Structure 1
Amino acid sequence: MMVWMINMHKVSMWGLGASSMICGLVSVLKLLSEKTNLLEWELLSLNSCSVEFVLIFDWVSLLFLCFVFMISSSVMYYSGSYMLGDKNYNRFMYLVLMFVMSMMMMILSPNLISILLGWDGLGLVSYALVIFYQNEKSASAGMLTILSNRVGDVAILLSIGLMLNLGSWNFIFYSYYLMDSEYLVLKSLIMLAAMTKSAQIPFSAWLPAAMAAPTPVSALVHSSTLVTAGVYLMIRFSPALEGSLSQSFLLIISCLTMFMAGLGANFEYDLKKIIALSTLSQLGVMLSILALGYPDLAFFHLLSHALFKALLFMCAGVVIHSVSGYQDIRYMGSLVKFMPLTSSYLIVANLALCGAPFLAGFYSKDMILEVGFMNYSNYISLILFILSTGLTVSYTLRLIFFSATGAFNLSSLASVSDEEITMTKAMTFLGLGAIAMGSILSWVLYPECYMICLSPLMKSMVMVVSVLGGFIGYMLNLMSLNNVLFSQMLYKFVVVGGSMWFMPFLSTKSISNLNLLLGGSSEKVVDKGWYEYLGGQGVFYVWSKISMSLYLSQYNSIKVFMKLFVLGLIVVSLLI
């Protein structure tokens, strides 16, 4: 049995790795030749509408698929060591492979009906993975995850009904011709679906809650699968957003999400939740630049972010394993002395997240910020962009300080080392990607550079804000002012900022209380009220009276016939 368990993750790694290489090569060929292949199967024809199963093979879908397979390959190999002692090892592996297949269907579908195979598959399998550890916390997190995503599923189903007017559900052909005057509701529903999948305000609570899943799942979900499905859908729908009212709404929502997540991560102490909030912040970056009219930049950041975010979660998994299952960063410290390789990957991934020069995140994030500064947008969006950039560097250096370079806070019995060779090998491949893939992607995707015209002040704004945010964040923790300031002077501010603006509370307890209140009222008024009167009890009462009347009429009693005769005379006299 052990041989099968070990071979399973190796076979998955080689299979997904080979698929990634093939998709990458074909994607580059498609990009150079500017060709697209479309496979179409007609399943059902109804009047002028035909229900079709469609697959699209262009450079966008194949390049994204290449990255999904590449990261999944590393995650599967990593899981071979991380999940080795789990009794449900095989079930975990099958669920992860189903998750990857659902994402593949989502990426390759330009049809709003066939996209449901991947879209619903992601929601269902993510629920199964979040509740994998089978405890009360996991069950609550799984229910919040699937119910939040179900809102987006309903929006997709409503969009399918609205697209019936177009005669086809191949949205990739119609997105250029959807005017606000006729299809504003359709665009709003698609945007709602993307907001739920990518956890934008007010659907942000499920993303940190999904950390109840095993760490390899978090590495896959937060890098290239579930949460990026909404961004990918909006990239495909981006021509329909140009000049639309929904575009401005998406810009404000994504900027607020970016700021809220960055603020919350600075007050969080759970290692996995800090990284989850950083994902939420970067999703806001992607959707905000997409709302400004640059879907290619959003796609570029989506790919580069996937590599170092998967690496970041893998490093977190190794650290959690080594420190006896702790996730609180206050119980870590000085890991750079005991785990130099893992700490190096952790620091590289964090610096790439900040946009440190010449790492993967720099090429996409720096260009996004400069294009955002150059674009015509309101002051609120500009200020939120600047604040979010500083907060990103602040919580990143805070994480590095508490976990890697700060004082040693582990117990004396802790055995911390880089001895997990399988995990280290999986991280090495993504570590190279986090260093070099940003420049490679920029060469492939942008053979001609963007023309960016900024004043010296605005040009240096990105670097100034990053350095200032990092300095403030690091010094507050270095001087131990964090606890003093936040526990006494700014307690209320910390409670609001650190609780994601009460969204977890609003998404769980308040809705549960409201459902209980409405359920009690409906039970009294409907179930025990009108349903009883007009439903089974009412029908029983009417039929019992009718049967009793028939029973009495069969007695041949003169009293009954006299009453009926008198009643008939009265009715006739009234009619006359």
Structure 2
Amino acid sequence: MCLIYFSMFLLFSVITFLSSLSFMVTEYSLLLEYEVLSINSCSVMMTILLDWMSLLFMSFVLFISSMVIFYSEEYMEGDIYINRFIMLVGMFVLSMMLLIISPNLISILLGWDGLGLVSYALVIYYQNVKSYNAGMITALTNRIGDVALLMSIAWMMNYGGFNYVFYVDYFKGSLEMNLISGLVLLAAMTKSAQIPFSSWLPAAMAAPTPVSSLVHSSTLVTAGVYLLIRFNFSMSEGMMFFLLFVGTMTMFMAGLGANFEFDLKKIIALSTLSQLGLMMGILALGEYQLAFFHLLTHALFKALLFMCAGAMIHNLGNCQDIRYMGSVVNLMPLTCSYFVISNLSLCGIPFLAGFYSKDLILEVLSMGYMNLFIYFIYYVSTGLTVCYTFRLIYYVLVGDFNFLSLNMISDKGYIMLKGMSGLILFVIVGGSMLMWLMISTPYYICLPRLMKMMTLVVIIIGGWLGTELSKFALSYSLSSLNYLKTSFFLANMWYMPYISTFGVNYYPLMSGVKIYSLVDQGWSEFYGSQNIFFQLKRLSIFLQFLYSNNLKVFMLLLSMWVMYMYMYLLI
């Protein structure tokens, strides 16, 4: 089944990529409509929009999915339900396809809800307490966005149709469109895990690594960004400013958190969160094409990064703590090479895939008239990205090997290596290829030498800091209370899970326990069903006693009546 899905997705990926090039060159778009039903002049349409953007994104999603499914054949080896796993991944990808090609809010909701439902099934795949908790957080957080999308569908009734592509630009500024845009913004923030909905993203790491690779590169978390790219024309200035602030804060928070995290998958998850903040920020500045460009390049190197991490975890007997790793490069040279290349691409090192989008985003930001706070946070967050990347490389590749001396760590997973090898070429040349394709007219960047070199400066400082902090953390006594408090605060994303998840559901759950014990099993039982049961039972026993002794009772009543009559006569 793995090979069937792999071949099918790869074939469709090539077809959609070539179609995208054709549509891009000819500036051609195709809108297909099928009327499902019509109620009071409001038509419910099944609509498909094929343009260069949707086709290009589809080709990337299908290509990454094909590589992940091929990789899963070995990673999930020994799982007796592997066919079910592959089918779930297939459903996940199909939901994403439906979301990408829909210019209609109702058909978008089908893909949107499909992603939420299948992601829940995949997060709880290992069926333990941690997975169940993570799945519930993921599902319930995403439900907020689903409800917002449902409400926006209701407001679209004002226009007599649900095809938002006809209305986003024309009705910009109207009350209805402002409400719809606000609700879509809320939905996108939940799906793309922006503050304050960030806690589900690291928790979703409970899923198998191939799922993490797919979710964090091109499907679930990018759905929100893609929806906002489509809706960017309808956003008011206030919404854009709000989105810019939330995006930059998310990027900064995730960058700081990743520097104090020790779980390999969670570090990469926080890195995804940081990149999502970057995309949201540049989208809020009106550069939706740049956000889309970074979305595609990020999908390539993040998928490979997770696949490399999965191969390491697989070899280390499911150990995810980076403190146990070290000098893995001697045992797994090819996997570590891929790992370093994708990490450097994430940092924006020239001239890998991430450089072309990330450097351009920072330079366009520098060209604009944005305030110093935003400029400062963007560059600091870029430095933090390099910092946690070099910290990760130091712990995994350079430090002392702290795992079991009896091990079987090697690059012998040939199927996994082939899956990763399919992506490595695109991680190296994908950025330049996309730049030539997407940006027909080059961006004119005119900056002073110091501002032009700023990106390179923060990369160098971040790399140096990451290495030095790793050495410091290894040599420094971890018993220091202040260090522990700080690292705990930052690694827990400024206590975001406690505020937005545990803090929200603790009191309702506790009040539920109290109501259950005091009301359901308490006073309502005493005065309600149990009390009625006991009264009926007592009455039934009394009546049963009467019926079983009816002759005695009759004689007793007769004698009492005779005595009463006798007394009456005497009087």
- Asked if these proteins are the same fold (TM beyond 0.5), I'd say yes
Contact kept, 8 Å, 1:289 with 1:368, in 2: the verdict is yes
Which stretch of structure 1 is more off in the superposition, 180-189 or 375-384? 180-189
**Alpha-carbon distance in 2 for matches of 1:179, 1:482:** 58
Aligned to 1:320: 313
Q: Aligned AA for 2:179?
A: V
Which stretch of structure 1 is more off in the superposition, 59-68 or 487-496? 487-496
Q: What displacement does 1:264 show?
A: 0.3
1:444-499 Cα deviation digits (max 9, x unpaired):
01122101122222111111111101101112213556744894543332222111
Aligned to 1:150: 143
Q: What secondary structure is seen at the aligned counterpart in 2 of 1:55?
A: strand
Contact kept, 8 Å, 1:23 with 1:62, in 2: the verdict is yes
Aligned to 2:193: 199
What are the within-5 Å matches in structure 2 for residues 229-268 of structure 1? Answer: 229-241=223-235, 243-268=236-261
Aligned to 2:271: 278
Aligned to 2:133: 140
Aligned to 2:6: 13
Correspondence for 1:338 among 331, 336, 356: 331
What are the within-5 Å matches in structure 2 for residues 451-466 of structure 1? Answer: 451-466=444-459
1:50 equivalent in alignment to 2:65: no
Q: 1:164 to 1:536 in 2, by over 3 A?
A: farther
Contact kept, 8 Å, 2:155 with 2:176, in 1: the verdict is no
Correspondence for 2:284 among 287, 291, 307: 291
Contact kept, 8 Å, 2:279 with 2:294, in 1: the verdict is yes
1:337-370 Cα deviation digits (max 9, x unpaired):
1111000000000000000001000000000011
Q: 1:387 to 1:233 in 2, by over 3 A?
A: same
What are the within-5 Å matches in structure 2 for residues 21-40 of structure 1? Answer: 21-40=14-33
Aligned to 1:368: 361
1:318-349 Cα deviation digits (max 9, x unpaired):
00011111100010111111111000000000
Aligned to 2:538: none
**Alpha-carbon distance in 2 for matches of 1:227, 1:420:** 29
Q: 1:195 to 1:525 in 2, by over 3 A?
A: farther
1:208 equivalent in alignment to 2:202: yes
**Alpha-carbon distance in 1 for matches of 2:204, 2:473:** 31
Which stretch of structure 1 is more off in the superposition, 317-326 or 454-463? 454-463
Aligned to 2:560: none
Contact kept, 8 Å, 1:156 with 1:193, in 2: the verdict is yes
Q: What secondary structure is seen at the aligned counterpart in 2 of 1:501?
A: coil
Q: What secondary structure is seen at the aligned counterpart in 2 of 1:268?
A: coil
What are the within-5 Å matches in structure 2 for residues 155-166 of structure 1? Answer: 155-166=148-159
Q: 1:165 to 1:259 in 2, by over 3 A?
A: same
Q: 1:196 to 1:252 in 2, by over 3 A?
A: same
Aligned to 1:541: none
Q: What displacement does 1:133 show?
A: 0.3
Contact kept, 8 Å, 2:352 with 2:427, in 1: the verdict is yes
Correspondence for 1:118 among 107, 111, 116: 111
What are the within-5 Å matches in structure 2 for residues 339-418 of structure 1? Answer: 339-418=332-411
**Alpha-carbon distance in 2 for matches of 1:499, 1:482:** 23
Q: What secondary structure is seen at the aligned counterpart in 2 of 1:500?
A: coil
**Alpha-carbon distance in 1 for matches of 2:345, 2:480:** 31
Q: 1:40 to 1:245 in 2, by over 3 A?
A: same
1:79 equivalent in alignment to 2:72: yes
Q: What displacement does 1:281 show?
A: 0.3
Aligned to 1:179: 173
Aligned to 2:184: 190
Contact kept, 8 Å, 2:148 with 2:183, in 1: the verdict is yes
**Alpha-carbon distance in 2 for matches of 1:64, 1:327:** 31
Q: What secondary structure is seen at the aligned counterpart in 2 of 1:99?
A: helix
Q: 1:18 to 1:523 in 2, by over 3 A?
A: same
Contact kept, 8 Å, 1:486 with 1:494, in 2: the verdict is no
> What's the % identity of the aligned pairs?
56
Q: What secondary structure is seen at the aligned counterpart in 1 of 2:36?
A: strand
Aligned to 1:61: 54
**Alpha-carbon distance in 2 for matches of 1:133, 1:524:** 32
Q: Aligned AA for 1:448?
A: T
Where in structure 1 are there 5+ consecutive unaligned residues? Answer: 1-7, 538-576
**Alpha-carbon distance in 2 for matches of 1:48, 1:84:** 54
Contact kept, 8 Å, 1:315 with 1:345, in 2: the verdict is yes
**Alpha-carbon distance in 2 for matches of 1:171, 1:518:** 42
Where in structure 2 are there 5+ consecutive unaligned residues? Answer: 531-571
Q: What displacement does 1:256 show?
A: 0.3
**Alpha-carbon distance in 1 for matches of 2:483, 2:250:** 22
**Alpha-carbon distance in 2 for matches of 1:424, 1:27:** 29
Q: 1:12 to 1:520 in 2, by over 3 A?
A: closer
**Alpha-carbon distance in 2 for matches of 1:201, 1:482:** 34
Q: 1:180 to 1:266 in 2, by over 3 A?
A: farther
Contact kept, 8 Å, 1:75 with 1:219, in 2: the verdict is yes
Contact kept, 8 Å, 1:180 with 1:244, in 2: the verdict is no
Q: What secondary structure is seen at the aligned counterpart in 1 of 2:80?
A: coil
Q: 1:334 to 1:295 in 2, by over 3 A?
A: same
> Number of aligned pairs?
528
* Larger Rg computed on CA atoms: 2
